[in-house]
Amino acid sequence: MNIYLIRHGRQNSTLCNVNAGLGEEGYQQADLLGKRLRSYEIDALYSSHLIRAVQTAEVINLYIRKAHNIRENIAEISFGNLEGNTNEYIQEHFADFKAEQMELKEDIPYPGGECGRDVFKRAMVTMEEIIQSGKSNIAVVTHGGVIRALLAGLLGLDMSKKLLFGASLENSSITELKYDEKYERFYLQRFNDFGHLEAAAELLRYNW
């Protein structure tokens, strides 16, 4: 079983974790990804219920045409009191939290929000559903925080180190997991693969 964890396309807001839709670039990213996935023989499609993930999945589905399963438990990590704020505001008012977080010593929750273990626990509900589905190639449109928490948890790593999975995950990137039914374990096949964006540098995060 191959599970393709996909980060949603670029949203139309730079505020922290607001439930915003895709921007123009996000639709372009999703379209390029959908074209790429046509050859992957995807037989199931999931997304979180947040607008940016739903819209990304809808664009992908123009190419793969599968039932779209929406699951709230693969929504982005709750950033708690940071949500709705600018990066500048967060750096000023939550500087102590950010400094402690980047020490990578503990899986500390966002103030008023979740930690990685919280996200892993709820996201595994959908992962277990996928495992039991009998499908072979599953696309899951979700979020950077969820992808990092799943990788740390599924690979048996200390959740405090989850931020070591990429300084930044590209929007519409693919992280592929292979599930071995015999040994009931996951293998990381590839991480943050954004090959479909490489000919369109304006769609990469450093240009946002």
For residue 101, how many other CB atoms are within 10 A of its CB? 17
| Overall pTM > 0.85 | yes
The structure tokens 């959740």 sit at 159
Residue 204, judged by CB atoms within 10 A of its CB (0-12, 13-18, 19+), counts as middle
Domain locations in the chain? 2-69+102-190
The reported pLDDT for the residue numbered 208 is: 75
Radius of gyration of the chain from its Cα atoms, rounded to whole angstroms:
16
Say yes or no to pLDDT of 189 above 80: yes
pLDDT tens per residue, range 11-45: 999 999 999 999 999 999 999 999 999 999 999 99
Specify the pairing of strand 2-7 against strand 185-193.
Answer: unpaired
The reported pLDDT for the residue numbered 205 is: 87
Specify the pairing of strand 44-47 against strand 137-142.
Answer: parallel
CA separation, residue 125 to residues 42, 100, 118, 200 (Å): 21, 29, 12, 36
CA separation, residue 159 to residues 1, 2, 119, 132, 166 (Å): 25, 23, 11, 25, 14
Percent of the chain having pLDDT more than 90? 96
Q: How far is C-alpha 76 from the chain's CA centre? A: 7
CATH class in words for 2-69+102-190 = alpha beta
pLDDT tens per residue, range 68-92: 999 999 999 999 999 999 999 999 9
Instruction: For Cα atoms 42, 44, 47, give the angle at the middle one, nearest 5 degrees.
Output: 110
Give the whole-angstrom CA distance, residue 3 versus residue 175. 8
**Sheet of strand 137-142, all strands in order from the earlier edge strand to the far edge:** 68-70, 44-47, 137-142, 2-7, 174-180, 185-193
